[in-house]
Chains A and B, each alone.
Chain A
C-alpha cells in the first residue's frame, strides 16, 4: 500500500502563468481534497473530488480548477497566477470521506 504522493515538491512560476500540480492517491481511496496553506496559517479547503466529480468547493475563484482521473489520481490547475497564490498546496485522499491521508505538499512560489 503506497501513501499519497504529490509532484513536484517545489515550483517557481511567474505571475500570469498557469500551473498544474499532481497528486497520486493512496491505494483504494476514491476521494481527494486539495488545500492551500499560506505561511503561518492552517490549510484552506479548495475543493474535493469523489469518483471524478467535484463534490464540494471552498471560497476560491474559478481560476482554481481540478480533475480526478479514473485511477483516482488528481490534478490542481491554477490559471493567471497571482503573487498571493504562493503557498504550500496539500492533497489528501480518503475512502468515501473517512480518515484523510495527506501528501507532503507542493511548495509554489509565484514571482
Chain B
C-alpha cells in the first residue's frame, strides 16, 4: 500500500534553531517524493522534490530508502518559514499521496 506518514501535526521552534519535519513512507517500488508548503492565505506550492537534490529557501531533504524516510531539514529556522508542510509521494499510477501535514511555527 502507498502511504505517507507525518507523525507531527504541530511543530514549534525558536528563530535560529534547527528544524526537522519528519516524513515516512511505504511504497513497494521506486517512489518520487516531494515536499509542498502552504503559507497563510496562499495556495499549496512545491517546495522541493527528491530527484532535484537541491536546497530551496535553505531547506533540504534526503531520501533514505533504508528507513523509508524523507525528512525536511533546515539548520536555522526563520519566522517566514511558519507554514503548513506536506510530504507527498508519487507512484507508478500517477497518483500523488499526501501526508496529513505538519504545521510549523517559528517563534521570534
Contacts and interface: CB of A to CB of B under 8 A. Distances in A.
Interface of A: 33, 35, 40-45, 48, 50, 55-58, 90, 92, 97, 99-105
B48 to A, nearest CB: 10
Interface stretch (B14-22, B72-80, B90-98): B90-98
A44 to B, nearest CB: 7
Interface of A is mostly: strand
A103 B43 CA distance: 7
Q: What size tier do the contact residues of chain B reach?
A: 10 to 19
B100 A45 contact: no
A110 B34 CA distance: 32
Contacts of A100: 46, 96
B86 A42 contact: yes
B101 A45 contact: no
Nearest to B4: A42
B93 A56 contact: yes
27 contacts: A33-B96, A41-B100, A42-B6, A42-B86, A42-B88, A42-B98, A42-B99, A42-B100, A42-B101, A43-B44, A43-B86, A43-B98, A44-B98, A45-B98, A48-B95, A50-B94, A55-B94, A56-B93, A56-B95, A57-B93, A99-B49, A100-B96, A101-B45, A102-B44, A102-B45, A103-B43, A104-B43
